[in-house]
Amino acid sequence: MRFSLKKSPSHFSILPEIIAILLAFFIGALILLFSGYSPLVAFSALFRGAFGSRNAWGQTLTQATPILFTALAFLLTFRAGIFNIGVEGQFLMGAMASALAGIYFSGLPAPLHIALSLFLGGAMGALWGLIPALLKVYLGAHEVITTMMMSYIASYLTSYMVNYPFKAPGWVAQTEPVAKTALLPKILPPTQLSLSFIISLFLSLLVSFFLFHTYLGFQIRAVGLNPGVAENRGIEIKNRQILAFLLSGFIAGIGGGGEILGVHGRFVDGFSPGYGWDGIAVSLVGKLHPGGCVLASILFGMLRAGGMTMTRVTKVPLDLSLIIQSLVIILVSAPYFIKVVILRKKDF
């Protein structure tokens, strides 16, 4: 065989993704048009709301932060060949653990209190991931079922906790506020953007390093791509899958904690509009790569933050940004469509 360098397979193209995003906006524009709105006005409001000012940026990144955590969590298990769709549950349990640690530990200096609360959030998330991991590895229970059920348990359990044992006096189902020493510093006041965002970026780097520069990450990727080969080469598949689940849960848990300590200051019932589920989409749109997840989470954050401005300014319902978000997911997960129909590439 001869090789021509022009067509080296190592070239990593994000062209289909960019086209998918543009196409999603285009279809969104058509929908606006047919509903009697001006796409130009609506989109300019959306972009202004997302990137138009310091505050807009702050909003976008605030929205991006929790889904970056959950995307990284999903990614880690996916790389090990596990479809962990229970990130939401791990996120919620982590949030609750961090909230309680934030409330009930006292007298600690701030950095220590923050670190301890986040760590306990992570540990709780990891524990929530460990259960389906053990069920899968030792009993063969499929993780799609177990993680989804664990998510429901987490959702109702945390809801019960803020409605009964840990409810703060008042009408709202929420806990007491966490101690001042447990609050994450805001990094772009007056927006809600907190240190949690920096932590999520740092974790992206860490996950990338782990997957591509450590032997454990290498083994996890090998197990995910071809367990038969991994087994034949003496890699302990079960242990690696458990590790992936633990790390995934840990990251999701810290994400939950970060959201509590950084944005809400307490656990409010229903504070997550489904960050765990969004993370799955972000992870896939980000091509299952930590760097891609960063970009995709900012895209999703922009649609959320910008969408709110758009609704305020133009009366276009917020649903439109959800529609665009959904279109991005659909189109990105249909690479064949983009490649064949739009780029007109037959085979490869």
- DSSP, res 179: P
Whole-number Cα distances in Å, 222 to 80, 235, 236, 237, 240: 8, 9, 11, 9, 10
Peptide bond into 190 cis (omega under 30): yes
Does 327 sit near another protein (CB under 8 A)?
Answer: no
* Nearest CB to another protein, comparing residues 119 and 218: 218
CB 233 within 8 A of CB 223: no
Does 140 sit near another protein (CB under 8 A)?
Answer: no
CB 345 → another protein: shortest distance, Å? 10
CB 91 → another protein: shortest distance, Å? 27
* Nearest CB to another protein, comparing residues 5 and 139: 5
CB 200 within 8 A of CB 68: yes
What are the φ and ψ backbone dihedral angles of 58, each rounded to 5 degrees? -60, -45
- Interior CA angle at 111 toward 110 and 113, to 5°? 60
Does 226 sit near another protein (CB under 8 A)?
Answer: yes
* Nearest CB to another protein, comparing residues 197 and 210: 210
Does 112 sit near another protein (CB under 8 A)?
Answer: no
What are the φ and ψ backbone dihedral angles of 53, each rounded to 5 degrees? -150, 175
Per-residue contact track with another protein, 21 to 50, x per CB under 8 A?
Answer: ------------------------------
Per-residue contact track with another protein, 60 to 99, x per CB under 8 A?
Answer: ----------------------------------------
CB 75 → another protein: shortest distance, Å? 16
Residues 228-247 that bind another protein (CB under 8 A): 228-236
Q: Which residues contact 285 (CB under 8 A, 6 or more apart)?
A: 17, 292, 296, 299, 300, 328, 329, 332, 333
CB 132 → another protein: shortest distance, Å? 25
Residue that is written with structure tokens 């997911």 in the block: 329
The tokens describing 38, both together, are: 């001006």
Does 4 sit near another protein (CB under 8 A)?
Answer: yes
Does 12 sit near another protein (CB under 8 A)?
Answer: no
CB 23 → another protein: shortest distance, Å? 25
Does 344 sit near another protein (CB under 8 A)?
Answer: no
The tokens describing 36, both together, are: 């009697």
CB 347 → another protein: shortest distance, Å? 6
State the Cα–Cα distance between residues 235 and 238, nearest whole angstrom: 9
* Binding residues for another protein (CB under 8 A): 1-5, 7-11, 213-216, 218-219, 221-222, 225-226, 228-236, 346-348
